[in-house]
A and B are shown apart, each in its own frame.
Chain A
Amino acid sequence: MASSIIKPGLLVALQELQPSSPFFKEGQSIRVTGKLQSYSVESAIAIIVDGGATLLIDTQHLRDINFRINSIYQFIGELLIPHDGQVVLKARIGRNVDGIDLNLYHQSIRLRRKFEADIVRSKTT
């Protein structure tokens, strides 16, 4: 197990995955959360939605996960951004997070980013 190879999945809201966002990079490791809108067994592609934004999730490498429409799921994986085509998250981790307080989750992400920025600042000073 090479710990340096596995990057952390940065916490990102689906609405933030716009081309202008610093998280919108090919191969970026991110963690996303959303309600399962649809799932195709043939293609293993799931579509999750949160706050009006959607994202395709490639779930072919996931094991031991059952998909239920309208349940909330969290995925950690790498962004694939084709030149012509829809952005897909190639998931390596997936879990059901039914019961999560999404409002609290998003507020907490904002607090965490400020805190983590302070950690980086304190390291450099």
Chain B
Amino acid sequence: MDASRYAHVKLLAADFLSLAVSSSAPPTISRRGRPIYRAEFVGVVVSRDRRPKLLRFLIDDGSGCVPCVLWLNHDLLSKSSVFASGDDLAASAARDHAGKVNLGVLVRVRGRVTVFRGELQITVKDVLVERDPNAEILHWLQCIKLARDCYDLPLAAVTKV
């Protein structure tokens, strides 16, 4: 099992938007040969589009705008699901997250890296409002340090025990 599948890679938007997407189905998404499944961003919400089943928004960290989608259709899924109570919790959490996403707010977003109509996006799992403006600066520095010390290393060097 690839442990990195469940880690949220901290990326700047420019780094995320330059990820390589394979032409296979489903596509694999990679950064310098390393598969990326989940990512974490910090940025300012610069657009917001609420639909009945989903919320689309963009977060801007100064290097790019990351498209994010937060699904709100858990209520529809739970009607036919044997895991109804789990879906209720998921629906409630998604609605809470959607309420935090407002224009001009600094947010930390975590989710799966997905592709929609050829464009990279984040299918959001968690949204956290960052009230301390220095949190964004810290995230930038973490992105740079992690890229240098971990993400840019050849995969073989990291998997060797």
Contacts and interface: CB of A to CB of B under 8 A. Distances in A.
Decide whether A and B assemble into one complex.
yes
Given A6-B58, A100-B133, A112 B46 contact: no
Question: What band does the interface of chain B fall in when counting residues whose beta carbon is under 8 Å from A?
Answer: 35 or more
Contacts of B32: 122
A116 B14 contact: yes
Nearest to A105: B137
B40 interface: no
Given A65-B104, A76-B44, A112 B65 contact: no
B12 A115 contact: yes
Interface in A1-17: 1, 3, 6-11
A8 B133 contact: no
Interface residues of A, number: 34
Contacts, number: 90
A94 interface: yes
Main secondary structure of the interface of B (DSSP, over half): mixed
Nearest to A64: B104
B35 interface: no
Q: Is the interface of A mostly helix, strand, loop or mixed?
A: mixed
Contact of A112 (B12, B49, B103, B119): B12
A8 B64 contact: yes
B44 A108 contact: no
B141 A111 contact: yes
B137 A76 contact: no
A8 B141 contact: no
Given A1-B47, A1-B49, A8 B137 contact: no
Given A31-B60, A64-B102, A95-B104, 14 more contacts: A8-B60, A9-B62, A31-B44, A63-B103, A64-B104, A76-B44, A94-B104, A99-B134, A104-B134, A111-B141, A112-B62, A115-B12, A119-B18, A122-B32
